[in-house]
């Protein structure tokens, strides 16, 4: 039986791509073909220049739910938000419609198996694309922004939404600055000056703070996850914090592919062994969709556009 390496220190971006790139290429081709076909059937929604993108943000959302776009702060839509492959628009449509329909967020508490502490429903705060203040993690010029945050059942929930992203989680951009994540290199000075990152690296991820000259920087590989966990700690204060990764279980970077264990398994083993006072959950969209109290219109939309119900065939199959 093949050994599946389950530690962040076992992996580099190049090694992960070596395991996943061929499978991802097939996955990506199938997904693009699916969205091209979807917009061909719904040509009134399609962008004239891009066959698998919507003409507008409103056209990228479920019919009757175009108002959800107001939940995203001005200027915070991703560059490719109108694409059928946008994880931002998928989260806005599904989490957003549920949040509007049931602002108590009892559905979220149930979906994440959180203990209920309320005798009667109350409005729970939530936000999309929530950005920290620069001084909270000493971040300049780019601050950490969370896809979705909420406070429910006494827990601060930070959700990172993924769908078809290549590589799975975002890596550092030190090479564009004055750093080098490769063996023998050093972090960018702006990253070195963020103590909360390094505390998170050590306390939650169990990674060495000092660079090994023979290994690539492990912070670089886990950069987005480290920032999310650090942000969850800041926002929760003394309250319990929960970091949730939502993902497509068909994306090769998020499932077992060759020797690669997939980001959910890798983060479960890493944060489960090292993190104290922080809960991590990795939940596939395929699993989450079964529990969400979606309207009939949204259910039909997500089934046709994203094949996220059992009676629709996945684009990867």
Digit-coded pLDDT (tens) for 188-224: 888 888 989 989 988 888 887 777 766 777 788 889 9
Is 314 domain-assigned? no
Total domain count, the chain: 1
Region of poorest pLDDT, from 35-49, 105-119, 302-316: 302-316
Q: Which of 103, 119, 30 is nearest to 71 (CA)?
A: 103
Max CA pair span of the chain: 57
Instruction: Kindly report the length of the chain.
Output: 317
- Side-chain half-sphere CA neighbours of 40 within 13 A: 6
* Segments forming the whole domain that contains residue 50: 8-306
Q: Which of 230, 165, 147 is nearest to 191 (CA)?
A: 230
Is 2 domain-assigned? no
Is 108 domain-assigned? yes
Helix axes 223-236, 195-203, angle to 10 degrees: 100
Is the pLDDT higher at 41 or at 313? 41
Arithmetic mean of pLDDT, 95-105:
96
Tell me the average pLDDT of the chain. 89
Is 240 domain-assigned? yes
How far separated are the first and last CA of the chain, in Å rounded?
Answer: 26
Assigned token pair, 138: 């000493």
Q: Which of 19, 18, 14, 24 is nearest to 251 (CA)?
A: 24
Is 317 domain-assigned? no
- Return the pLDDT at 140: 84
Q: Compute the distance between CA of residue 317 and CA of residue 314 in angstroms, rounded to an integer.
A: 5
The model's pTM: 0.91
pLDDT tens by residue, 162-190: 999 999 998 888 777 777 777 777 788 88
């Amino acid at each position: 039986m093949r050994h599946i390496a389950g530690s962040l220190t076992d992996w580099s971006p190049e090694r992960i791509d070596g395991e996943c790139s061929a499978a991802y290429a097939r996955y990506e081709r199938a997904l693009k073909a699916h969205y091209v076909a979807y917009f061909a059937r719904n040509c009134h929604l399609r962008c004239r220049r891009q066959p698998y993108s919507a003409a507008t943000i409103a056209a990228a959302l479920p019919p009757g739910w175009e108002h959800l776009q107001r939940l995203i702060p001005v200027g915070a839509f991703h560059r490719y938000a109108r694409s059928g492959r946008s994880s931002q628009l998928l989260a806005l449509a599904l989490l957003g419609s549920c949040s509007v329909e049931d602002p108590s967020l009892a559905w979220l508490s149930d979906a994440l198996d959180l203990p209920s502490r309320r005798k009667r429903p109350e409005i729970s705060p939530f936000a999309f694309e929530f950005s920290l203040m620069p001084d909270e993690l000493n971040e300049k010029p780019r601050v950490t922004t969370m896809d979705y945050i909420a406070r429910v059942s006494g827990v601060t929930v930070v959700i990172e939404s993924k769908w078809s992203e290549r590589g799975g989680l975002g890596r550092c951009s030190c090479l564009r600055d004055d750093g080098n994540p490769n063996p023998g290199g050093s972090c960018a000075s702006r990253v070195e000056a963020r103590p909360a990152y390094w505390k998170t690296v050590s306390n939650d991820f169990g990674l060495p703070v000092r660079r090994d000259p023979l290994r690539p920087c492990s912070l670089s590989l886990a950069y987005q996850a480290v920032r999310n966990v650090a942000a969850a700690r800041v926002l929760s204060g003394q309250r319990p914090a929960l970091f949730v990764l939502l993902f497509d279980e068909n994306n090769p970077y998020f499932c077992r592919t060759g020797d690669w264990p997939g980001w959910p398994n890798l983060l479960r083993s890493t944060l489960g062994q090292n993190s104290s006072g922080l809960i991590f959950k990795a939940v596939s969209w395929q699993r989450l969709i079964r529990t969400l109290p979606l309207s009939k219109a949204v259910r039909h939309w997500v089934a046709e556009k994203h094949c996220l119900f059992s009676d629709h065939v996945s684009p990867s199959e």
